[in-house]
Structure 1
């Protein structure tokens, strides 16, 4: 429960690293049920229905006096959550790197997010503002906590271990999401047998994700170890705002790392928007039942476990960059196909889910491990703060484009096809980056395969 001496590489013996790695996997296990059950499956359609109940005859609600289409409220709230996260993450990361106290900060934001998610049990009637507020708190907290968890990756693994460790973490997360979705599916489809209304069943599913998050977060908080920071480095940055400015200046000295962040920001906006808006597309545009959506997301979770591990193996042979580029080409095809999907046809929606599952886990896991090679030693939390801005459903541009497109056209098909540009542009930006040179210029050991 204490700290260990700082170092530029993975600290400790092989046994010590494996113990921390096993604990670290369980943070993905703990928090991924939020991304799956809450953000991807239940909250979008449910919050949209609550918002529609509060809307006037013109289909608008007026949070803070601003006219908003009830169908766009969820997407706009996801965008608002990233604004909160953008403000918080650089400040928290500066404190984490300056003090070396990542673990207490991880505990604070993990349990703040878990509490907000558990509080979604009270979202009923026309309380759309309560739902929006809880979503902002939970999503922003999850982003900050994920940043802190990711910052441990370079410290608990060697460069050659990095892709495998990151891929296993994602696989743990998708396995947890699949298990929770099975339980959710039983409760939701059999809610009458349990004497529950559909609304109560959905609210129990939402709250259970918060309880799961809080319980399993105990494992990484017990296993992970903080690293001490040299006293001279701690004194060098006396305040979080000053450290933020130093980080921005430092990133300018690593233009290739900055170029990767730009590419990741673009294509991950597309990935996260598909994850957060797919359920609304399925329910509102295709007219599919909630049980069908849950089954489809369950299929995504199961195949994402296999996809993350399989792409991790491919990366060991062909390099992470080439593997990620291949996954982005696949994303472009999958999202383009969604535009032409017939309404009411569950089989085609399941095919779409299968395609997403096979590429989703690997593209995210390998992006995380690839970026970890590009971080100057001792600046893990700060750099992962920038990385996390566009991760785990907190991307603001994708949901904003999706919501605006729907509000202008009234079609979720037009909204989903607008996301293709994120994958195509992200592919072009990543393809131009010489990653081996970027790793060397960051001051890190260049792996044999990259």
Structure 2
């Protein structure tokens, strides 16, 4: 076991001043590039398209069959979707320590970032063939969805770890919020292009029954957008700081996670923050990943209105992230996060109570979720970067953060899908998320309490 002195002795300063503006903007541009995947594939067009082509409905629009067969087992189509995403996140959680170890020891995190964003882009392009016109289309669609998810989230392990290397502590809230803001703006711009494809399919020669070219073109557009705009950060981001750990130890990433876990014993505020983050992030990410399917299949919101609501979320998230960043400057990061979590609890209860077909009520909930969605993600990332010790092994610390995040998502998504199959309703799944947020809120309260105690000792 390391003593506090021993733990501190291995730490070295990483950044004393913020990088030039062109580097900061290039870093934020990766959010611009990859958020197209998050909006079109995760949140809007793909989930609604998936639910539509894997369900059978009567003339009144009621679902008469929502089951699919995958690998010899019958699933509720929405449950299969959540299980597949949970498996993707589990894979990311398992491989990211290995990859981050190699990136830290060899200083090639940019290479890994490029590999995974390319893999994710190609998988999005593969969804071009996800139509009933192709044999084994469901297998192809699920596999491409999983690979794209792995590519997106694995690339973020390396992207996030650049933040403490290019930004001084006092600038990290602002720069983290800039990245999310770039992401929301960029994703909405591509979403508009995809809207044109979907609402005016005739320009692509579509619009006839059995022709899905408007959706196929949307998935291909995401691939090109993601890969194309990602080239700017790959060119301008600096060469990563190389750790002084021995090279060639493939399992050192997992050993580093254990070492980071050991260091948390001597950093009680960070330990409590990560515990609370683990719980409230289950709720945040599950809502974001399952919202479209919930609106489509449970609330029966028409696809057009559903997409409008999701875009509304993206637009409101931009000022939301900036305002919550300012709020944290006034009342502190932990208190601001507590405000966000209370807001999320209210959103879940409101979502559970929404009436079937309540379009305007759904719009109102979308506006509320959008306001707090970007802020809680941005503030969580910057809070972690400020609470973590200064160290050259930034990727290992952010790998620990990302593994915590991904395991939370795995539990959240499996729980959501299991409750759907158990109760036959997504409403019960939505209400169960309140428990995750409540546990996170309690954790933040104890984090704040410990932080105050440490400040008193220092003074």
Regarding TM over 0.5, the answer is yes
Cα offset, 1:143, TM superposition: 1.0
**Following the alignment from structure 1 to structure 2, what is the Cα–Cα distance between the partners of residues 177 and 189?**
18
2:149 maps to 139
**Counterpart of 1:362?**
375
- Conserved 8 A contact 1:273-1:393: no
Gaps of 5+ in 1: 1-5
Is the CA contact 2:93–2:407 (under 8 Å) kept in the aligned structure 1? no
Q: Distance in 1 between matches of 2:240 and 2:214?
A: 43
The question of 1:187 aligning with 2:197 is answered: yes
Deviation at 1:394, TM superposition (A): 8.3
- Measure how far apart 1:207 and its partner are: 2.1
Q: Is the 8 A contact 1:268 1:390 kept in 2?
A: no
The correspondence of residues 33-182 of structure 1 with structure 2, limited to 5 A, is 33-52=36-55, 60-125=67-132, 127-182=137-192
1:260 to 250, 268, 273: 273
Q: Does structure 1 conserve the Cα–Cα contact (< 8 Å) formed by 2:24 and 2:166?
A: yes
Q: What is the distance in 2 between the residues matched to 1:295 and 1:392?
A: 28
**Is the deviation greater in 425-434 or in 329-338?**
425-434
Query: SS at the partner of 1:229?
Result: coil
Q: Quick one: distance in 1 between partners of 2:421 and 2:249? A: 42
Name the CA distance, whole Å, in 2 between partners of 1:214 and 1:341: 38
**Any gaps of 5 or more consecutive residues in structure 2?**
1-10, 57-63
Q: Secondary structure of 2:13's match?
A: coil
Q: Which residue of structure 2 lines up, in the alignment, with residue 3 of structure 1? A: none
Which of residues 421, 427, 450 is equivalent to 1:407? 421
Q: How is 1:330-349 mapped onto 2 (pairs within 5 angstroms)?
A: 330-349=343-362
| 1:221 counterpart residue number | 234
Native 8 Å contact 1:185 1:291 kept in 2: no
1: distance between equivalents of 2:286 and 2:26? 29
Aligned length: 429
In the TM superposition, residue 112 of structure 1 has moved relative to its aligned partner by 0.8
- 1:234 aligned to 2:245? yes
Report if the CA contact (8 A) 1:35-1:392 is conserved: no
Measured in 2, the distance between the counterparts of 1:124 and 1:317 equals 51
In structure 2, which of residues 245, 252, 260 is the aligned counterpart of residue 250 of structure 1? Answer: 260
Q: Are the equivalent residues in 1 in contact too, given 2:260–2:397 (CA < 8 A)?
A: no
Provide the C-alpha distance between the structure 1 equivalents of 2:67 and 2:314, rounded to a whole number of angstroms: 34
The 2-side partners of 1:353 and 1:109 are apart by 31
Deviation per CA, 1:349-392: give whole Å up to 9, x if none. 11010000100111100000001123331221112122223558
The reply on whether 1:426 has 2:440 as its aligned counterpart is yes
Does the 8 Å CA contact 2:279/2:408 hold for their aligned counterparts? no
* Cα distance in 2 for residues equivalent to 1:194 and 1:428: 52
Aligned mates of 2:40, 2:400 — CA distance in 1: 26
Which secondary structure does the structure 2 equivalent of 1:8 belong to? coil
Q: CA deviation at 1:140?
A: 1.1
Contact 1:304 1:360 in 2 (8 A): yes
Alpha-carbon contact 1:304-1:361 (below 8 Å) kept: yes
Alignment partners' CA distance in 1, 2:200 and 2:392: 51
Q: 1:363 to 1:302 in 2, by over 3 A?
A: same
- Measured against aligned partners, the alpha-carbon deviations of 1:42-70 in whole angstroms (never above 9, x if no partner) come to 222322334447xxx98543433333222
Q: 2:31 aligns with which of 28, 31, 37?
A: 28
Alpha-carbon distance in structure 1 between the residues aligned to 2:317 and 2:167 = 23
3-state SS of paired residue (2:170): coil
Which 10-residue stretch deviates more, 410-419 or 389-398? Answer: 389-398
Task: Give the whole-Å Cα distance in 2 for the aligned partners of 1:299 and 1:24.
Answer: 25
Q: 1:10 aligns with which of 6, 15, 19?
A: 15
For 1:69 and 1:370, the matched residues in 2 are separated by 38
What displacement does 1:129 show?
Answer: 1.1
Deviation of 1:32 after TM superposition, in Å, equals: 0.8
Instruction: Describe the shift of the 1:352–1:182 C-alpha distance in structure 2 as closer, same or farther (beyond 3 A).
Output: same
